[in-house]
Structure 1
Amino acid sequence: MRGAAMSFTAAASGLVVFLLSVSVVQSQYGMTYSSTKICAVKGSTVEIRCSYTYPSTSNGHVNTVEKTCWFTTWKDLKPVDVTTDSEYAGRVEDLCENNTCTLRIKNLTESDSVEYWFSIKTRQYTHLGVPGTTLSVTDAPKPPSVSVSPSAEIEEGSSVTLTCSSDANPAANYTWYKEDGNADLSFVSEGPRLFLSSIQSSDSGQYYCTADNLLGSRRSEPIFIDVTYAPKLPSVSVSPPAEIEEGSSVTLTCSSDANPAANYTWYKMNGNRKLPPLTTEPKLFFSSFQVSDSGKYYCRADNLLGSRRSESISIDVKYAPKLPSVSVSPSAEIKEGRSVTLTCSSDANPAANYTWYKEDEDSLKASGQIFTITDFRAEHSGSYSCGAQNKLGRSNSTLTLIVVAGSSTMTVNIIGTTLGVLMLILVFLLSLWMRKKKALHSTTEAHEPVEIETLT
């Protein structure tokens, strides 16, 4: 309440309102009210003071005050004595001392908002001090209520209006706040309405409004704004994030910001051909990842408002070299003195390094995928081992060059093994073949015709 001649302090029930003095002169009787206007808070206590003077004699007689009264609104054309009226019962006191009387009213109600007059009665005259003091009983704002329009589901991109209202006298001023991640309130705007145009997912959260006037401030209950939206671009993570070795377990995880929550589907790419989904869970799990599982994967996130596909992620499994294959060039019979090229290859990731050794020789014959022997001679015959190795392991294959005795050419036979077992089988088969050939030769000689001499 504003006024140069008025001041007050208001709070909870029991707080007394003290007032500055403003003099009001009433005819020959002096009357001074503490204030002509008072504002007080509902439920509190107010004191209205009036000091008075009067003539000590009147018409030659001693003049004394016989009674003091406080009056208010008129009933039946008569002013109401506050100290005896039922509406004030138990709530008022009239305290007088040294020509100053104080009307104390407790537990103020809005119906106490009227004008109050002080009256004195002497032996010969009753004086009512008018104008009196006007009391206005106000209240701090009631807890404000918040409404949202539209009241249905709020989709991203739509417009939303929040309205704050409170029963307050004097009228309240409104301020909007939003709760941040630390449960603190951040200022949004002022005014009874908060308008959010093209609302975004980041606008989701709890909102509050406060209603303030000179008598206090009240905050509303929180209202939660839940913005629904289609899935954002899904992200894909791989565990373990480091190098993946063949046989290890691998988990691919798909996640997307979506409201309502997204459903997920995993796919593996195969050129332009669409493959059936691998799983409809957010995680794709491989208990033992194999070379055949290598490739590109992607996931799709879906909800009622839309669908979004992730970027493709390549999974490249690492593995030790597989059993090497060995080839010889030329592949036909090789004449003595010609060059021979041996080539070794193995499926490995990372790529394998190659080494060549000759049976019964400890020294390295060559490094690299290709080993060339120029001017091939009988002493070059024997078994050659190709080793393929990377950081995950090693695998070997053996190649045997055999020279057929008594021939000017050599027959090349290739046997590949990692453990040398096939070499023993080859020697055994060659032994059987030689024995069979010798037996066949003996049988042929036994059937040659024998010349017989006839005696005459």
Structure 2
Amino acid sequence: MSVTVAASGFVVLLLTVTVVQCEKGWDVSYTSTEICAFRGSTVDINCTYTYPSTVNNHDTTVQETFWFIKESNGIHVDLRTDPEYSGRVENLCGNNTCTLRISNLRESDSAVYKFRFTTNQPTGSLTGSAGVTLSVTDLHVQVSTSVKGDSYNYAKLSCQSSCRLPDHLNYVWYMKQQKMKKGASYTGYFHRSARVSCAVKGLEDFRSTSMLVRSLIDWSVSYTSTEICAFRGSTVDINCIYTYPSWWNGLHTTVNKTFWYIKESNGIHVDLRTDLEYSGRVENLCGNNKCTLRISNLRESDSAVYKFMFTTNQPTGNLTGSAGVTLNVTDPQLQVHVRRSTANPSSTWTELTCHSRCQLPDHLSYVWYNKNKPVGRKKYFHLQHFNPEDSYHCAIEGQERFPSPTLYYPSDAPKPPSVSVSPSGEIMEGSSVTLTCSSDANPAAKYTWYKRSGHKQDQRLSEETQFVLSSIRSSDSGEFYCTAENELGRSSANIFITVTYAPKPPSVSVSPSGEIMEGSSVTLTCSSDANPAAKYTWYKENRALLQGPEGVYRLSSISSGDSGVYSCKSENQYGRINSTSLHLDVQYAPKPPSVSVSPSGEIMEGSSVTLTCSSDANPAANYTWYKEDRALLHGPEGVYRLSSISSGDSGVYSCKSENQYGRITSTSLHLDVQYAPKPPSVSVSPSGEIMEGSSVTLTCSSDANPAAHYTWYKEDEDSPTASGQIFTITDITAEHGGKYQCEAQNTHGRSNTTLHLTVGAGKSVIIMNIIRLTLVVVLVPVLVWTLWTRMKKTLSLKSEVNEAVEMIELDNCPEYDDVTAAAQTEDTEEQEDLV
């Protein structure tokens, strides 16, 4: 364990153990895995990161570095965009080191903080998985030894924290806000009413809460403050410490329940967390016998007495802090208290204290003014000389609209004047108002009316006893004061005027400003100048969302559906008015893409096909289409067109949708391109000469989708010879020779190819064929000569008959018929002989 003192002077406790996450040169290591810091301080959380300079021959560059504690839909939320840390975090990065600096620490900042960096490499993003655990805590006084007396307790006290503190630290001890001693512990006698607190030496601004020193055997509840003032809309912490004996009547004591309450019902104390009036506005922060009630967004109706109760396993071991803490939600109502020292005429001084009638939180800052100019910033203001021309007042920083009355130089000046307003009661905007000032003074006083202007010079209004505002406006609301002055001195008195009026046009704002990420917390605020205070109604489009006096609408985990146009209405009994529109644009990583193909149904080769990818994303996504693992198209449209699709385009397609907040891949889309059979290819097995008596296999194949059916045909045959891709002929003969046609057919068409099959003969068949060939060679010429001779004779006879016909009267000539018939008979006989 070591102690680091940051530049701001705050203690940070570190467990210095280095954690390394390393894989092939990628790693993130943290200087510490556990850090303990005090509320209100500043803490630095450090890490170093490394990465390979090149991956797959591509240089590596870092694109983004950030710290996070939350994730939303798989996306890490940069802490700088979280409204809970707005204005309190810095990212200090360089030379492969990165420091997260968180200022003004809150107990709610206790969390595990992780660092992440991204690069240009496809898988080049890394998160330091272990993270750094930050614990934000307070100091508290621990009673280690105690002896109970009549009016005093003897006790040994130590300064403790929920984190283990280094042994060498020294402490400063306080009793009733006065510094008492220094040392690691404090031993002595303490009055029953004594309140003790402690702080680390050198860090006195961060004290523990003060506590009553009680006996160790007491059952007790003590409150740090019994009266607290707070302002409307702010957050207040009400603290208590409770004690109980570790053993009672032989039974070890354990605490069952701790809670705060303001109401009782039938003798039962109602836990404030269950009260609808406080819904979402209260937290119980308890540990180490200390319990804090935190109330946020305070209302005037929260003014009440708050009490703490704890219950134990002991039969009578339930205890309520009877006094309670009175909370006043009001204006500060400051006064200036004066303390003077005149014991030594050569060294006189005046101490001014800015005081409220109820206790204000210790952490408040004050501003002192002399003649309305800032001159100091502490609760106490010391004057070496109080000059007659000086006038002092104080205010709480951030609440300057509620200053104290002005303190003037003390003398025999006129008595403080009395001031009045006419008419009394409610002052309406536009009415006429008269302010009157009078004072008991001799000689008579001169009067001057002023209006308080905050940091600026007060506005001088009139030098008459009366000042008239003829048509009062809302801007006239505020503090007016009158001075009464004669030669003996001056005194003053003030009066506040509140002008009632209808709401002015509301102003609307969104926090955080800038980009709004899905899952983040977003607050819409509407404010309008109105008197009495306006009530507000938030609308989305024309739908009412929230109505109330605060004008704040919170979306704790905003979604894409919350995008839209919002507006606010401000109203009181004098009128109502709507704000201008406020557009919320919720940004988010792409949702899972949907993919489609057009036209749907069967996809035919040669047709035009469009693949469409769409994803809900803000800002709009870019899309990348892939076939298997090969990128096809990248762009904002998400549309991939195939103007004339082919069988080679069949396969599995997917789409990736991405924007700066993330990326996601669609489900797979299978394209099945269908087409008619291509011209088949045919083959003969065995190849070479085919002999009679052998077995032959014919095979046909064709590229087709869906798969083709096959049919075999032999030339000059009407019916199919066979069906199927393979056709086998066993014991082949010469008659099997010839042309065969294979036809491939599916639902989209058909195609065919022809194959010529030649069958060779055996030896006996060859001899017979030789004899036949010889006879043909010898006999054919003889037959041809005989035929030719007979044909010539027939031609000659026909010629003679034709000549005779020309010479004889053909009509009624029987001789012609006989000759013609004889010639035909002879011709027929010759033809029969030839055959």
Q: Could you state the TM-score of these two structures normalised by the residue count of structure 1?
A: 0.56
Alpha-carbon shift at residue 317 of structure 1 (Å): 0.9
Contact preservation (8 Å) 1:384, 1:398: yes
Deviation at 1:39, TM superposition (A): 7.6
> Are residues 1:161 and 2:523 paired?
yes
Q: Specify the code of the residue in structure 2 equivalent to 1:163.
A: T
Of 552, 573, 576, which residue of structure 2 is paired with 1:193? 552
Measured in 1, the distance between the counterparts of 2:663 and 2:747 equals 43
Q: Is the 8 A contact 2:500 2:532 kept in 1?
A: yes
Which whole-Å CA distance do the structure 1 matches of 2:437 and 2:760 have between them?
148
Helix, strand or coil: the match of 2:630?
coil
* CA distance 1:72–1:196, change in 2 (3 Å): closer
Offset of residue 187 of structure 1: 2.9
- The separation in 2 between residues aligned to 1:323 and 1:72, in whole angstroms, is 107
Query: Match for 2:618: what amino acid?
Result: N
CA distance in 2, matches of 1:369, 1:140: 94
Distance 1:320 1:253 in 2: 27
Q: Distance in 2 between matches of 1:253 and 1:405?
A: 66
Q: Deviations over 1:55-82 (max 9, x none)?
A: xxxxxxxxxxxxxxxx9857689xxxxx
Out of 265, 268, 276, the position equivalent to 2:624 is 265
Deviations 1:286-324 (A, max 9, x none): 222111222122222222222222222221111111111
**TM-score of the superposed pair, with normalisation by structure 2:** 0.32
Measured after TM superposition, the shift of residue 264 of structure 1 is 2.1
Matched residue, 1:6? none
Distance 1:43 1:246, change over 3 A: farther
For this pair of structures, how many residues does the alignment match? 294
CA deviation digits over 1:128-148, x for unaligned, max 9? xxxxxxxx9743322221111
Q: Show the counterpart of 2:506.
A: 144
Alignment equivalent of 2:614, drawn from 244, 249, 255: 255
1:290 equivalent to 2:657? Answer no
The amino acid across from 2:614 in the alignment is S
In 1, the alpha carbon distance for the partners of 2:567 and 2:620 equals 26
SS at match of 1:292: helix
Residues 329 and 186 (structure 1 numbering): CA distance in 2 closer, same or farther, change over 3 Å?
A: farther
Which residue of structure 2 aligns with residue 230 of structure 1? 589
The CA distance in 1 between the partners of 2:687 and 2:537, in whole Å, is 92
- Name the amino acid aligned to 1:275: R
Q: Which amino acid aligns with 2:523?
A: T
Tell me the residue number matched to 1:326. 682
In structure 1, distance between residues paired with 2:647 and 2:654? 18
1:388 pairs with 2:747? no
Name 2:449's counterpart in structure 1: none
Instruction: Deviation per CA, 1:383-407: give whole Å up to 9, x if none.
Output: 1111111222211011221123566
- AA aligned to 2:714 is K
In structure 2, the residue matched to 1:217 is 576
Residues 340, 321 of structure 1: alpha-carbon distance in 2 compared, 3 angstrom cutoff: same
Against the structure 1 CA distance between its residues 407 and 369, is the aligned structure 2 distance closer, same or farther, given a 3 Å change threshold? farther
Query: How far has the Cα of 1:186 moved from its partner?
Result: 4.7
SS at match of 2:760: coil
Q: CA-to-partner distance for each residue in 1:414-447, whole Å, 9 max, x for gaps?
A: xxxxxxxxxxxxxxxxxxxxxxxxxxxxxxxxxx
8 Å contact 2:535–2:547 — kept in the other structure? no
Counterpart of 1:244? 603
CA contact (8 A) 2:691 2:760 kept: no
What secondary structure sits across from 1:364 in the alignment? coil
Q: SS at the partner of 1:360?
A: coil
Whole-angstrom distance in 1 between the partners of 2:600 and 2:559: 33
- Inter-CA distance 217–76: structure 2 relative to 1 (3 Å threshold): closer
Alpha-carbon distance between aligned partners in 2 of 1:111 and 1:371, rounded to the nearest angstrom: 107
| Overall identity of the aligned pairs, in % | 61
1:187 alignment partner AA: L
Summarize the alignment of residues 302-381 of structure 1 with structure 2, pairs less than 5 Å apart. Answer: 302-331=658-687, 333-381=689-737
Structure 1, residues 321-342: CA drift from partner, whole Å, max 9, x if none?
1111223344465553444332
Give, in whole Å, the separation in 1 of the partners of 2:715 and 2:525.
Answer: 92
Any idea what SS the aligned residue of 2:648 has? helix
> 2:630 is matched by which residue type in structure 1?
L
* Structure 1 residues 9-67: Cα deviation after superposition (integer angstroms, max 9, x where no partner): xxxxxxxxxxxxxxxxxxxxxxxxxxx999897579xxxxxxxxxxxxxxxxxxxxxxx
Give the corresponding residue for 1:404: 760
Deviations 1:171-222 (A, max 9, x none): 222222212xxxx435356542111122222222111222232233322211
Once residues 751 and 700 of structure 2 are traced to their aligned partners in structure 1, the CA distance between those partners, rounded to angstroms, is 11
Verify the 8 A CA contact 1:356 1:384 in the aligned structure 2: yes
Deviation at 1:359, TM superposition (A): 0.7
User: RMSD over aligned Cα, in angstroms?
Assistant: 3.6
Specify whether residues 371 and 140 from structure 1 end up closer, same or farther in structure 2 by C-alpha distance, changes over 3 A only: same
Instruction: Decide whether aligned partners of structure 1 residues 186 and 242 sit closer, same or farther in structure 2, where only a CA change above 3 A counts.
Output: farther
After superposition, give the CA deviation of every residue in 1:106-133 in whole Å (9 maximum; x if it has no partner): x9967999xxxxxxxxxxxxxxxxxxxx
Paired residues of 1:165 and 1:192 also in contact (CA < 8 A): yes
Q: Give the SS at the match of 1:261.
A: coil
Distance 2:502 2:514 in 1: 33
The 2-side partners of 1:212 and 1:304 are apart by 42
Contact 1:357-1:385 at 8 Å conserved across structures: yes
CA distance in 1, matches of 2:738, 2:606: 37
Structure 1 pair 290–171 and aligned structure 2 pair: CA distance change class (3 A)? same
**Distance in structure 2 (CA, Å) of the matches to 1:227 and 1:408:** 98
Distance 1:275 1:110 in 2: 70
- The residue type paired with residue 268 of structure 1 is K
CA distance change for structure 1 residues 408 and 189 in 2, over 3 Å: closer, same or farther?
A: farther
What is the CA–CA distance in structure 2 between the aligned matches of 1:74 and 1:37, rounded to whole Å? Answer: 10
- Give the letter for the 1:197 counterpart: S
User: How far apart, CA to CA, are the structure 1 residues paired with 2:515 and 2:569?
Assistant: 25
The answer to whether the aligner puts 1:176 opposite 2:538 as a matched pair is yes
> Does the CA contact (< 8 Å) of 1:236 and 1:253 recur in 2?
yes
Contact 1:336 1:408 (C-alpha < 8 Å) held by counterparts = no
Q: Does 1:202 align with 2:564?
A: no
1:153 aligned partner, one-letter code: E
1:111-122 pair list within 5 angstroms: none
One-letter code of the match for 1:167? Answer: D
Question: Could you say what secondary structure the match of 2:504 adopts?
Answer: coil
Q: Unaligned regions of 5+ residues in structure 1, if any?
A: 1-35, 45-70, 78-84, 89-106, 114-135, 410-456
Separation of aligned partners in 2, 1:394 and 1:142 = 83
CA deviation after TM superposition for structure 1 residue 247, in Å: 1.5
- Alignment partner of 1:379: what SS? helix
Supply the distance in 2 between the matched residues of 1:170 and 1:267 (Cα, whole angstroms): 64
Question: Any conservation in 1 of the 2:503–2:528 contact (CA below 8 Å)?
Answer: yes
Judge conservation of contact 1:266–1:280 (CA < 8 Å) in 2. Answer: no
State the SS of the aligned residue for 1:384: strand
Letter in 2 for 1:253: T
Residue pairs, 1:122-137, within 5 angstroms: none
Contact 1:335 1:408 in 2 (8 A): no
Looking at structure 2, the residues matched to 239 and 199 of structure 1 have their Cα atoms a distance apart, in angstroms, of 36
Q: Is the 8 A contact 1:268 1:278 kept in 2?
A: no
Residue 280 to residue 209, structure 1, CA distance change in 2 (3 Å): closer
More displaced stretch, 312-321 vs 370-379:
370-379
C-alpha distance in 1, partners of 2:544/2:469? Answer: 46
